A and B are shown apart, each in its own frame.
Chain A
Amino acid sequence: MNGVRILLRQPRSLVGAGILLVLLLMGLLAPLITPYDPNSLEFGPFMPLSAQHPLGTTAIGQDIFAQLLYGARLTLLVGAVAGLIATILSVTLGLTAAYVGGWVDEAINALINVFLVLPGLPLVIIAAAFLRGGGVWPVILVISLTGWAWGARVLRAQAMALRERDFVQAAVASGEGPGRIIFMEILPNMTSLIAANFFGAALYAVLSEAGLSFIGVGDVSLVTWGTMLYWAQAKGALLQGAWWWVAMPGLGIALLGTSFALLNFAIDQLGNPRLGWGSVKSPRRKLAPTPPAAGNALLAVRDLDVGYVTPQGTVRAVRKVSLDVAPGEFVGLAGESGCGKSTLAFAATRLLNPPGEVLGGSVSLAGHDLLSLTPEALRQVRWKEFSVVFQASMNVLNPVLKIREQVYDAMQAHGITDPARLDARARELFALVGIQIRYLDSYPHQLSGGMKQRVVIAIALALEPKLIVMDEPTTALDVVVQRQILQEIAEVRRRLQISIVFITHDLSLLVEMSDRVAIMYAGELVEQAPAHDLYAHPAHPYTQQLMKAFPPMTGPRERRSGIPGRPPSLSETLPGCPFFERCAVRMPGTCDVKPLETFTVGEAHTVACFLYDPAVSPATKELALSHALNPVIAKEVQLESVPNSALH
């Protein structure tokens, strides 16, 4: 299984499994390792360490080394069996509660809670005292019965989440019965959690057994590491200087516990891969000197290269992208999911987290070289010069703070502390984005999604930044609310003369809102043009097909087609045009071998397509257009877009 392979690559799980294996072998091979019986009393009391008795003897003349080896057997047995029983109880009760629901769930949940609030160890002690002297099984039983509740609670929560998942609903809708839904749909998705739960329960069992035996409520006639501790204590081992009698079983328990804990954690991480991240350091990039921003651009992105560094190699999500935003300009950035549009925005605003990394290029904003600013200098610039609004940013509002405090926050961080001024500014901002002033004193949960997104936009405007980057700010909202907010944004921009970079996959929306539109595909910027120009004369075959790829609201109902195929994987190195595979007018021998270049086809209109390359012979272009896979597209390229000069 895949998971096992991943586990074997982790140092944590390897160490854990290694320790467990050694302890297991100690127990299993005990008769081969030592010639002595752990219970025989044939030697003298308190013999010192010697070659014959590596750990000496006990107060009644048993070989301690033999006891340690044989003790591993029962200790491991208790851990494994009690862990197993507790896990079976947890899984059965947790899943039943989650799947059946209703009063069954309530009853099981109540039972779980009762067991959780009962003080565990005292309960074990009392129960064990009643069953005293019956060998190892009563101990196992008692520990299992007190150790299942925690796991049942976790598994119940997980199963409830899974039960609501679409694939379980889909199985129900296709007529699948409860047995298969539990065992084939839900349970396999909980494997790592159940395994982690087993090791957690086993750890609890080992520790409980040791504790019980130590205080003498287990069966002290058995040889376990716990009873060894009991006898060592009872016979005053430490007073006799035989510290190893205490230390060795203690060490054994500690090692076994460590092994279970390591395995538990390693498996848990398998289910929650995010637990492992966070400490990845991105190496500092060598900074190129910033070239001066072209013309009067407010934001100048030059040859920006951004990648995600993964164990499987670097995914180049943004490939040498250059983009200018003029003061007061509304630039739309469009593309499919995974085309790199959001990565570009994150990287350009220094918000990229590991494993994302800027691999090259520069970003300058109003004279600041954004990529080389120190964190403190960045803090100064951020929000004052530029701010950001993200797709789910209504969730950035802190639920326990009043809206007012959150609006004040950014302003206070930048040195505005006068309460009257803060209040006045907050009112101004709310009026600007169309929210009633009374909402200032509400909590986020009292506001609808649209209102919250307006608050976030108001906060982004708080310090009058010159630029706001908006990454799908309305995608999560309903169409009507989306439209209202877009109107507010357009209005605010006109009034404050700020620049906006607006990222979305909805091209028709962008064409309507933007001054200029940039289209990204597979990490490359493939076309840039004034919005009306792009709408009237899209030049890149991808743009042309994208324009036709949504159903129209008006006109006759006719069949349209999407763009067949899918974008290339971003971990590949592509020699030529990334759209080659899906392109209806591709020119084999040109597009798939020449490094991508950008050509100018009109005023401020550039396109990365070799159909517009004067160096490519007209005959090649005409051949491609006439052989086009999609006659409609070919006709259009021919009639509308390819300038005559490029063809002849």
Chain B
Amino acid sequence: MNPSQTPLSTNSAQPQPSPLSQTTSGPNTLDIVNLRKVFGGRGKGGGVVAVNDVTFSIRRGEVLGLVGESGSGKSTIARLIARLYQPTSGEIRLNGEVVPHKLGGRGLRQLRRRVQMIFQDPYASLNPLHPVSYTLARPLKIHRLARGNTDPQVRVLLERVGLTPALTYAAKRPFELSGGQRQRVGIARALAAQPELILADEPTSALDVSIRLDVMNLMLDLKDQEGLSMLFITHDLAGARYMSDRVAVLYAGTLVEIGPAVQVIDQPQHPYTQLLKSAAPKPDAGLTPDHIEARGEVPDLSTLPPGCPFEPRCPYAMRECKDGLPRMYDVGGEHQARCLLHDPAIKARQAVAGYAP
């Protein structure tokens, strides 16, 4: 496992490429450094910055929860790591090895064995025409993990995700399965390639409430048993808290907060995370006591303000927020937040004025 001294600089927001010294204390499963994706805008100007210089790491055996609303860029990040999209700039490292910017043929296939995805909608992510056995045997064959008959391995995969009797399930087509069972097939497909990293893109949000926890539990068990590392993407803070060791919060393509799951969600330090938390349903309180304070909605990514992207909606917005993207400030432990409220100078000024968030 990773020693606790893992330099936090992996999470720093320095716009220039980070020094190579970061990975000296044993490689993380994944490092992404200043990852950036701009959609469109070939030719003159424009383009939508979907992922804006995002930097974070996933340690071995760790689940990193990636939280954000639609349009925050969270799914784009997963698709950049899986190379379904080509990054515009930045660096992705798997176990310390840099994934080359140009990848083709064997290199790409190798990457896709090491990194597997679980998709959001199990009704869309399985080809309706193929039986389960085909779907699960393909990764084994593509990556030459099975010699000849794949049936025994398919059976083991199905048993690992709790679909027993495996023989019955192997012969079924997607329309014969419930949503939860389909998602288990999706998880089995991801496991088939024996990946080092699993990218789970909202794997439970299309499922019914009563089966969500079982799918999450399955992923947690698999992580424990196989020492998998996982990026767990969700818009649900409670789900992220349940699943993750650490949580990263994304707003309009920018990483705004990262830290240990319980810390980030119990004591959010960025106003946006606080807003997200206050918006979650609380069955034991009425609506009124927690009237949320936020102006407007998630901005159009093509017209982002120059400074902090949350500034137009932020109840604590200050003049300085417009000056430029704030850096990540350490707020205790491994917890960091991209907000000027944590800038020592501004903190001091506010203490004098008797104002605190």
Give the B-binding residues of A (Cβ under 8 A). 165-177, 180, 184-185, 188-189, 336-337, 448, 450-451, 478-484, 486-487, 490, 505-509, 511-513, 535, 545-546, 549-554, 557, 559-564, 566
Contact = CB atoms under 8 A, between A and B. Distances in A.
Contact of B279 (A177, A480, A554, A562): A480
5 contacts: A170-B125, A480-B292, A482-B279, A490-B287, A546-B209
Interface string B227-264: 00000000111110110000000000000000001100
A500 to B, nearest CB: 13
A545 B288 CA distance: 27
A189 B128 contact: yes
Interface string B249-291: 0000000000001100110000000011111111111111001
Given A176-B142, A478-B298, A562-B210, A170 B279 contact: no
B292 A550 contact: no
B209 A480 contact: no
B117 interface: yes
Contacts of A478: 69-70, 235, 297-298
Nearest to B179: A337
Contacts of B285: 512
B112 A173 contact: yes
A326 B238 CA distance: 34
A545 B209 CA distance: 10
Contact of B282 (A177, A479, A508): A508
B189 interface: yes
Contacts of B276: 479-480
Contacts of B127: 167-168, 171, 185, 188-189
Given A448-B297, A554-B266, 5 more contacts: A166-B119, A175-B143, A512-B286, A550-B209, A550-B212
Contacts of A484: 292, 294
A546 B279 contact: no
B139 interface: yes
Contact of B210 (A171, A336, A450): A336
B281 A512 contact: yes
Contacts of B280: 479, 553
Contact of B238 (A170, A188, A553): A553
A329 to B, nearest CB: 16
A505 B294 CA distance: 26
B213 A551 contact: yes
A443 to B, nearest CB: 16
Contacts of A535: 283-284
A552 B214 CA distance: 15
B217 interface: yes
B84 A172 contact: yes
Contacts of A513: 287
A478 B234 CA distance: 12
Interface in B66-114: 69-70, 82, 84, 108-109, 112-113
Contacts of B284: 535
Contacts of A481: 297
B63 interface: no
B213 A483 contact: no
Contact of A175 (B109, B209, B241, B266): B109
Main secondary structure, interface of A, reads helix
Contact of A487 (B139, B238, B291, B297): B291
B351 interface: no
Contacts of A508: 281-283
B211 interface: yes
A171 B138 contact: yes
A174 B189 contact: yes
A170 B239 contact: no
B27 interface: no
A334 B149 CA distance: 47
Contact of B112 (A174, A550, A564): A174
A480 B280 CA distance: 8
B279 A560 contact: no
Contacts of B237: 553
Interface string B163-180: 000000000000000111
Contacts of B291: 487
Contacts of B214: 561-562, 564
Nearest to A476: B70
Contact of B265 (A188, A480, A553): A553
B193 interface: yes
A483 B235 CA distance: 14
Contact of B287 (A170, A180, A512): A512
Contacts of B216: 551
A559 B209 CA distance: 16
Contact of B241 (A166, A167, A451, A551): A551
B20 interface: no
B288 to A, nearest CB: 8
Given A170-B125, A562-B211, A480 B69 contact: yes
A173 B117 contact: yes
Given A173-B82, A175-B143, A166 B121 contact: yes
Contacts of A560: 213, 242
Contact of A549 (B119, B130, B209, B294): B209
Contacts of B288: 490
B211 A563 contact: yes
B132 interface: no
Contacts of B158: none
A505 B211 CA distance: 12
Contacts of B128: 167, 189
B287 A486 contact: yes
A169 B238 contact: no
B143 to A, nearest CB: 6
Given A171-B138, A484-B292, A550 B213 contact: yes
